[in-house]
Amino acid sequence: MSQHTRTRLALAVSVNNIVYTVNAFRPTRRSRVLFGWSFFASWITIELAWFHLIWQVLGTLFLGRAGSFKRAEGKAALALAVTSWVGLGVMIKQSFDARDEIKAALRGAAAQPVPRRKLPIKVTRNVEYAMVKTVRRRRGLRSQRGEAAERLSRLKLDVYRPLEPPAADERRPVIVQVHGGGWVIGDKREQGLPLLKLLASQGWVGFNVNYRLSPGVAFPEMLIDLKRAVAWIRENAEEYGIDPNFIAVTGGSAGGHLSSLLALTANDAEYQPGFEDADTSVQAAVPFYGVYDFTNRNGHWLPGTVDSFIGAWVMQTSFADDPEAFAKASPMDQVRADAPPFLVIHGDRDTLAPVEDARDFARRLEAVSQQPVHYLELHGAQHAFDLFPSIRCNAVIGGVDQFLTYCYEMHRTELAEPDALELDTDAARASAEPPTADVRPVVDEDAVGQGARSAPR
């Protein structure tokens, strides 16, 4: 290979590297042509910045040993390479800074880190939680009677839990994971795995839930499916050794949207056809990079998104024809005073779900909710930053563990307070009123000679 060719190769490599680095800092969400590439390139560059830095340095050293940087073009290539390294170094620092951002976001809620356990876990896959009829919506697909064709959909979930069963008097808290994929793709095997595995190793039971997708169904069928899952989990609490009084929900992207609505529409009969009396409430919510507005009231979506995608595929009606339906599908419009505690997580470089809407949602919810609302904005993070255990992902899921553990402890304390108050009242009454009869201790005869035994509670 000639000197000229080596120099041109070095310049081409450096230009390619600097383009990816610059795009990671300034991904586009306004260009239909570059939108998809810009998202994927920035996501993989940001979350694997350390990997890119290593191979870029090694590649530059190799090209340098071949004499590729001797000419003017080569020197320009070297300058671009060094600039790319600096940018990647900044991204790595921002990933580590997530730990401080988490501490700031959780200030006042969970001051101390959660003690880490390393319980071995097991995964049970494809547990059926419901079978529902789905009306096919494809054009021209008709049954023999001329009606819309129907099929049965088997809805399934995966269970993540500690390998050892709980003790006889132990009940474990629950986390429900809702996958994303724009309401049209996605599967329980692909998302939320780092968090589920961490929580299961800490004594939680996780349920990674599948639901029906568009265009096979329209909203709110996805939400109804998730409510079926919550009802099923409570019905099977004894089998899985879980605490039916504490179920938390999480999810990313479309899963962040649906998990937020699941938390904000507790026991709403409209979304529980045939199981209206089931308890579908959740006690904490942690949406990741969610979609909070189907109406684009703040104008941050790519032009035409509401009509050409959300309306055509997800809602299967237009905003002009049914604006109320779009508002009911927007978590921003469903904030309520009795919402459970929320931890809203979003990256400030998210090009798929506007961070501005996440900020607006958190403000609106905090203004009315009686429970804590924490907002964690991650500087330098793209969409889907938690798909694999990167530096930032590991820091964030540790913070989520801390938040959920705090919520569970507060929940248990609140449940114990009425009992403690009743005991205090009985003790005060006993001390204030002298006994009117000869009170004698009751002895369990079966316990004589065997030591004391607690009465069943």
For residue 344, which of 364, 315, 318, 321 has the smallest C-alpha distance? 364
Cβ atoms < 10 Å from Cβ of 71: 17
CA distances from 340 to 330, 352, 373, 392 (A): 17, 26, 9, 26
Going across the sheet that includes 284-288, the strands are 121-135, 150-162, 205-209, 172-178, 242-252, 284-288, 342-347, 373-378
> Which residues does the annotation mark as catalytic?
253, 350, 383
Residue where the block lists tokens 């071949």: 66
Pseudo-torsion of CA 387, 393, 394, 397, nearest 10°?
Answer: -90
d(CA 61, CA 348): 34
Nearest 5 degrees, angle CA 189-CA 195-CA 196?
55
d(CA 338, CA 352): 29
d(CA 180, CA 290): 9
- Asked whether the beta carbons of 69 and 10 are under 8 A apart, the reply is yes
d(CA 172, CA 332): 31
Where helices occur in 176-280 by DSSP H, the ranges are 193-201, 221-235, 237-240, 254-264
For residue 180, which of 251, 261, 264, 285 has the smallest C-alpha distance? 251
d(CA 405, CA 113): 10
